[in-house]
Amino acid sequence: MPTKDLHGRPLKSLRISVTDRCNLRCRYCMPEAHYTWLPRAEILNFEEVTQLARVFAGLGVDKIRLTGGEPLLRRGIPDLVQMLKEIPGIVEIALTTNGILLEEMAPHLRAAGLDRLTISLDTLDPLRFQRLTQQDKLTQTLSGIDAVLSAGFPPPKLDTVLIRGTNEDEIESLLAFAFERGLELRFIEYMDVGGATQWSWSKVVPRTEILERVAKRFGPVSPLQKTDNAPADRFTCADGKSFGIIASTTRPFCGGCDRSRLTADGKWFLCLYAPEGLDLRRPLRGGETPDQLRARIQASWSERADRGAEDRQKARTRGPLAGPADLRDNPHLEMHTRGG
Ligand code: SAM
Ligand code: SF4
Ligand code: SF4
């Protein structure tokens, strides 16, 4: 029986951030000039990550997603995939990436047993990519998508954060790009998470507007039945091609949330918006047994009541979750530390 929280939500999906470093500076995630990085000595090694993942698997976690920061910056990441693959009960290992290092890494990730990838792609315009990420690397991301297909992976999902005034004019072209390649693209509403210091309601492109625009360009859109607790609502166009919307801001989906997040330094967050995480590194390095760690994790999850995005939605006024100074004092608030 999987461990359940106070709302009856099981502990099923674990996102493991393997680094807080990134080779891009997306304006919706890392817009500041300076960051406080996690101390290197505190970053879990692969053996430690695997030990914790094994304990989580014993409590019902069956899916792991590797993320960051940019997970492909972590040296030897295929070795970690291989180690996690051997854990009984883990049925899927996925990875979310900006794709820049994929051309080189895709075959190694495949050989290591990685099941699937999600690639972030916010624009098809090289100049806009440069303005949005502070790097001139759109070509690498696009080559990365091809490399995933050539390496024999199932078609990767593409994730696009839409921001009004930045890339909402590309809804149609991004979707056409995905359709032509047989890929499923998910539009993500801009979220007021830690790190998004430039967030405002006026920059959110809501799900309703995305659906209207898609219908206008591609014809009638029908919703697809949800089959799991994944965050995206899926839709098909008249020709059967599908896409998704992750409406975290205007239509939060906390009710079925079975996700939690482990940072690269071993802090476990029960919600993307949670102010604090449970430190698992200290007890692990202090020699606690798997059973002791298991008891800690189980106790925490069974008291979980978090519904962060829903709580944010109820707030009368809404702005960024944290300011630049708060983020420098507490880097664990950052999306690139928690893993998206
Ligand atoms: N670097 C990898 C990438 O970009 O795919 C993985 C880590 S990134 C933090 C994971 C996801 O979080 C990405 O899809 C990114 O677009 C999303 N993300 C970051 N900040 C966001 C925000 N303010 N609103 C919505 N999504 C955000
Ligand atoms: Fe962009 Fe991902 Fe890096 Fe954040 S962690 S700056 S979303 S590439
Ligand atoms: Fe889950 Fe928190 Fe996101 Fe809601 S806001 S879906 S509870 S992680």
Report how far ligand 3's centroid is from the alpha carbon of 309 (Å): 6
pLDDT of residue 2 exceeding 80: no
Q: Which ligand is nearest to the CA of 270?
A: 3
In 3D space, the residue among 103, 117, 98 whose CA is nearest the CA of residue 23 turns out to be 98
- The answer to whether the CB of 24 is under 6 A from ligand 2 is yes
CB contact at 8 A, 332 and 10:
no
- The pLDDT, as a whole number, for residue 157 is 98
Radius of gyration of the chain (CA): 19
Euclidean distance between CA atoms 270 and 274, whole angstroms: 7
Euclidean distance between CA atoms 148 and 154, whole angstroms: 8
pLDDT of residue 230 exceeding 90: no
Euclidean distance between CA atoms 19 and 337, whole angstroms: 7
- Domains of the chain are 13-338 (3.20.20.70)
Q: Which residue spans within 57-106 are E strands per DSSP?
A: 63-67, 92-97
pLDDT of residue 278 exceeding 80: yes
22, 100, 119, 163, best to mutate for ligand 2 pocket (most atoms within 8 Å of CB): 22
- The pLDDT, as a whole number, for residue 340 is 81
**DSSP sequence for 53-95:** HHHHHHTT--EEEEESS-GGGSTTHHHHHHHHHTSTT--EEEE
Report how far ligand 2's centroid is from the alpha carbon of 22 (Å): 6
- The pLDDT, as a whole number, for residue 57 is 98
Report how far ligand 3's centroid is from the alpha carbon of 306 (Å): 7
- The pLDDT, as a whole number, for residue 277 is 97
Report how far ligand 3's centroid is from the alpha carbon of 12 (Å): 13
118, 123, 166, 188, best to mutate for ligand 1 pocket (most atoms within 8 Å of CB): 188
Q: Averaged over 59-79, what is the pLDDT?
A: 98
Instruction: Indicate the range of 124-128, 158-162, 312-316 predicted with least confidence.
Output: 312-316
Please state the separation of Cα 78 from the chain's center in Å. 19
Report how far ligand 2's centroid is from the alpha carbon of 169 (Å): 21
In 3D space, the residue among 217, 209, 210, 208 whose CA is nearest the CA of residue 237 turns out to be 217
Instruction: Indicate the range of 64-68, 111-115, 212-216, 321-325 predicted with least confidence.
Output: 321-325
Ligand 3 proximal residues by C-beta, below 6 Å: 252-254, 257, 259, 271-273, 306-309
- The pLDDT, as a whole number, for residue 221 is 97
- The pLDDT, as a whole number, for residue 314 is 86
pLDDT of residue 290 exceeding 90: yes
In 3D space, the residue among 340, 174, 152 whose CA is nearest the CA of residue 259 turns out to be 340
Sign of CA dihedral 182, 105, 332, 7: positive
Q: Which residues contact 80 (CB under 8 A, 6 or more apart)?
A: 18, 46, 49, 50, 66, 74
Report how far ligand 2's centroid is from the alpha carbon of 303 (Å): 31
- Tell me 266's DSSP state: S
- The pLDDT, as a whole number, for residue 40 is 96
pLDDT of residue 198 exceeding 80: yes
Q: Which ligand is nearest to the CA of 204?
A: 1
Report how far ligand 2's centroid is from the alpha carbon of 290 (Å): 33
pLDDT of residue 211 exceeding 80: yes
Q: How many CB atoms lie within 10 A of CB 295?
A: 13
pLDDT of residue 316 exceeding 80: no
**Encoded tokens for 203:** 């920059």
Name the amino acid, one letter, at 187: F
Q: Averaged over 129-134, what is the pLDDT?
A: 98
30, 102, 197, best to mutate for ligand 2 pocket (most atoms within 8 Å of CB): 30
Euclidean distance between CA atoms 238 and 219, whole angstroms: 6
- The pLDDT, as a whole number, for residue 227 is 79
Q: Which helix (H) or strand (E) element contains residue 109?
A: helix 102-112
Q: Give, in degrees to the nearest 5, the angle at Cα 255 between 63 and 221.
A: 85
- CA distances to 43, 117, 146, 169 from 123, rounded to whole Å, are 32, 18, 16, 10
Atom of ligand 1 nearest to the CA of 190: 24
pLDDT digits (tens, 9 = 90+) for 111-121: 999 999 999 99
Ramachandran class of 193: left when φ > 0, alpha when ψ lies in -120 to 50, beta otherwise: beta
Mean pLDDT of the chain: 96
Q: Averaged over 90-114, what is the pLDDT?
A: 98
Q: Which residue spans within 68-109 are E strands per DSSP?
A: 92-97
Euclidean distance between CA atoms 328 and 38, whole angstroms: 11
3-state secondary structure of 47: helix
pLDDT of residue 1 exceeding 80: no
- The pLDDT, as a whole number, for residue 229 is 79
Atom of ligand 3 nearest to the CA of 257: 1
pLDDT > 90 in the chain, percent: 94
